[in-house]
Structure 1
Amino acid sequence: MAVVRHALRLVVVLGTVLAAAGAAAQDVRHSAIPDFDAVAAANRGFGGFYVAGGFGYGTAAHRDFTIVDGFACPGAGVPYLGPVSLGGGSGCRTSAGLSGLTVHAMAGWNFGGPQGWISGIEIRGRLGREAGSGRLGGSSIVSIPGLAPYTNTASGTYRASIDNSLAVTGRWGYAFSGFMPFVKAGLGMARLSEQVDFDATGSRSCTVGPPVSCTSGGRVASRTSRWLPAAVFGAGLEVPLGRAFIRLDGELEAVFSPSQNLTQTLAGQALVTVTGTGTGVTPTTVGQASLRSENWVLSRRIMLSGGFRF
């Protein structure tokens, strides 16, 4: 009988232990504070397709410009005839600082990486004008041996603008605590428009002969608009708000303009006497004007955007 009682006690103890273990297995409770990274990944993730749009303000490095026409701005090839001056400097050279407000739209795809790293590709289109202008011309006294001094005058403007651009960039960032700082780099195209209006009819180029003869300057008008290759570099910060997000970018756009030597025949030139009166000869087209400008336009731009992830 003692053996039976011990066996019954063992059965009761084992049954109690198993029942307690089963109850414990069924009473697993979830933490009141879920894992932050899991929630962020589910509700505020950075991966996938997105669209965005916003505003930007850009300022470009000064666009330097030089005109050489053989009369008001002869360069070094014509003796005694110096260029016109404006404010103590040459009126044959100027610069335009480009700036302005633009709008942009973006679409892209982000790929998630290990431990918060994000990479992606993006296409960005920008509309608007970052424009500026510079003044050309002035007056100068010309002294040639054997001739009475006379005054050369000229006037004009140079205008330039980066009107629109399109770029495809790669992005690399790191997501942590709901923020993503990133860098970007890519290639694209930008439209550079330039306009020159220059009036040198008040300038003369004289030869001391004999006989002495002078030729008046003419007018130069040039307008170009070209799509040019560009490189884009930048960095920024993106903050998700659920599926929506806001973003602040700093961008450098380097637009390459091939070397220009826009040689064109001057219009309206005329032969004049030493005193400045016309000779009665039909206006000539002697001489040429060359428009020279720098190869690079560097735009620095701040962009504020809002977007949505799908």
Structure 2
Amino acid sequence: MKNPVFTGAGVAIVTPFTATGEVNYEEFGRIVDHQIAHGTDAIIVCGTTGEASAMHDKEHREAVAWCCEYVNHRVPVIAGVGSNDTAYAVELTRFAQECGADGGLSVTPYYNKTTQRGLLAHYTKIADCCDLPIILYNVPSRTGVCFTADTLYQLAQHPNINGLKAASGDFSLLAAAMAKCGDDLNVWSGNDDQIVPLMALGGKGVISVLSNVAPQETHDLTQLCFENRYPEAAQMQFKYHDLIDALFCEVNPIPVKKAMEILGWNVGALRLPLVEASEEHAARIKKELEKAGCKI
């Protein structure tokens, strides 16, 4: 049995930028403190929501190192360490361990993609490079490649592969993988609208976009599941359904950064090629935030 890097609600945290485009560490600190004070169980830094794909290497490493130091073990920190270049993913993974991260989130290779045999080789190389627990990230809508249950089973035998962020939406695949892997693979939902059903299958929580604007509520939802209070958890899932839907009305993290701006956070502009949410979508996001009672 592998102990999960964290249980509950981990926030896939946004990266705030200054007016001149640098990482705004002062605001980043405020956001991190707010998250921890309101129940967030882990910080996932430099992931998709953190716009890591638009950060250069030095900036990415600085953000990971800063986050590990600033959080200072108050909650686990999971660093985005994925790449479609295996050698670079290895470098980032080693760096994250040196910084004191508790885990690394490693997305499947994108653009060049690979075969299932390639996925085995890619992740084995990463997991062999150091002792940092690795969370595999399956998001075929972004990468164009998807694990099979057999591949997940083989990877789960590696002691440094801790689990899976599941964002395929394919519950048949998840059920098959979880049945094969058992306690050798922890699973977190990568979709906020599927927290309750995935946890009912034995998931360990969620890596969440919703947590950026509703940290306490997302944490509480996972706790209801851990307490086997699934009817109440289902009602919470339904309550936040429209807000979750609004947070994905455009490409993530466009809507969630707009939502945080509406709530008063100084998150700054998105980095191209991402652009501001449309006026229509901004109005929808504001409406759903108000309906859900979200505030700083």
Q: What TM-score bracket applies, with the shorter chain setting the length?
A: under 0.3
Q: Name the TM-score, length of structure 1 as normaliser.
A: 0.18
Higher share of residues assigned helix: 2
Q: Which one has a bigger Cα radius of gyration?
A: 1
Q: Name the TM-score, length of structure 2 as normaliser.
A: 0.18
